[in-house]
Amino acid sequence: MVATIAGSDPSGGAGIQADLKTLSALGAYGCAVLTALTAQNTRGVTGVHAVPADFVRAQFDTLVADVELDAIKIGMVADGAIAAAIADGLAELAAGGSGAVVVLDPVMIATSGDRLLAADAEDVVRRRLVPAADLITPNVDEAAALLGVDRATTIDDLRTQALALRGLGARRVLLKGGHLAHPGGPTGDRSIDVLVDADGTVHEIGGERIDTVNTHGTGCTLSSAIAALRPVSPDWVIAVRRAKDYLTRALRHADDLQIGRPDTDGRSPGHGPVHHFAEVWPPAGAHRSR
């Protein structure tokens, strides 16, 4: 059983909705603790309404009092009070002997560029949630924000910053290099992520670069996939590779969904979701948003 602690996305492409789709697609039973409601679609975020921190904690405590979890994925925490409430809950759960693995996706900036984390929360995430996680999965922008440096532009930068994030107390770091993948870029037609394991070993996790604008929810999907797969995988490296393979398939079929209202040219100006159920649903064309 896997719990996701994250915000809601009404368009279904990211957040709690993407997490639960991912967990279901990979055979895990998903539970959820909501941290925020958002008003968003494929084009951007127009509003965020944070759930009161004490009610986030009440959701968490009530869940773990009854459901034994194998893994916990943390996504959008919205503000500092919520981040602290989650950190307190995780500490008590660990003190009680829980063996649940914790995957932290430090959600700060949406694919659309909209900021999803209040400034007061960054320090709490850095000081309390990063050390509490078994694995953190920042993208290059989130890593730069956590470290207070410029964003990575090369594979060497990814390695350097992933190791620096371990210096903040992270046990393991998966620094995602998807933003570096483009024709002529430093990774060419490959999407390269850098995983630093608990012993400091650096692994490069490669995958096919999928040329699509429909990338909404990729970070949520990957971190949830890792949380689903780690309890049934022999180690973190294999779990990450399997999760990346799943995300690559979801990206490969993202254009099949056609989610989002088109502009006058017949194309959506937003970022549609990845296809979480590409291996389950009927062929392309059977499901449309209009």
pLDDT at residue 271, rounded to an integer: 87
> How many C-alpha atoms does 135 have within 13 Å on its Cβ side?
26
What value does the mean pLDDT of the chain take? 89
Active site residue 200: no
More confident site: 264 or 147: 147
Q: Which of 218, 221, 270, 272 is catalytic?
A: 218
Which is nearest to 125 in space by CA: 35, 21, 38, 63? 35
Question: Whole-prediction pTM value?
Answer: 0.92
Q: Which of 12, 176, 178, 244 is catalytic?
A: 176
34-54 pLDDT, tens digit each = 999 999 999 888 999 999 999
Cβ–Cβ under 8 Å, residues 84 and 92: no
Q: Which of 215, 244, 260, 270 is catalytic?
A: 215
pLDDT confidence tier of residue 290, bands split at 50, 70 and 90:
very low
More confident site: 117 or 238: 238
Q: How far is CA 184 from the centre of its chain?
A: 27
Pull the structure tokens for residue 54.
Answer: 């004490």
The secondary structure of 177-194 as a DSSP string is: -GGG-STTSTTTTEEEEE
Listed range (109-118, 160-169, 255-264) with the worst mean pLDDT: 109-118
Stretch 71-75: mean pLDDT: 98
Active site residue 160: no
Which domains are present in the chain? 2-256 (3.40.1190.20)
Cα 233 from Cα 98, distance rounded (Å) = 18
Pull the structure tokens for residue 38.
Answer: 């958002």
Q: Which residues of 32-49 are buried (b: 16+ CB within 10 A; e: fewer)?
A: bbbbbbbebbbeebeebe
